[in-house]
Amino acid sequence: MGIFQRIHYETMLDSERERIRHIFIKTNQILAQHYFQENNYPQCFEHYEITLDKDPYEEDIYFDYLEILLQ
């Protein structure tokens, strides 16, 4: 495998990894909101914490989490 093929492959993996990361974050956010509406707070908090463990720089998740904690 030449260097050009390897670079293209790694670039493709990076974009796919980012796409899957975004799906993971959005899915956990939706689940957390669902559990909050169902008054299942332990599950709600668990989904926010799992997401923040995987991506501690996701500001939208922090804002949602704090908003729920303050209610």
Q: Summarize pLDDT for 17-67 with one digit per residue, the tens.
A: 999 999 999 999 999 999 999 999 999 999 999 999 998 888 989 999 999
Q: What pTM, to 2 d.p., does this model score?
A: 0.78
| CA quadruple 37, 40, 43, 49: dihedral sign | positive
Q: Which domain holds residue 62?
A: 25-71
The Cα 52–Cα 32 span in angstroms is: 12
- Let me know if residue 17 belongs to a domain: no
Q: Are 58 and 52 in contact (CB under 8 A)?
A: yes
- Let me know if residue 50 belongs to a domain: yes
SS3 content of the chain, % helix, strand, coil (to 5): 85, 0, 15
Of 39, 26, 25, give the one whose Cα is nearest residue 71.
Answer: 39
Number of structural domains found in the chain: 1
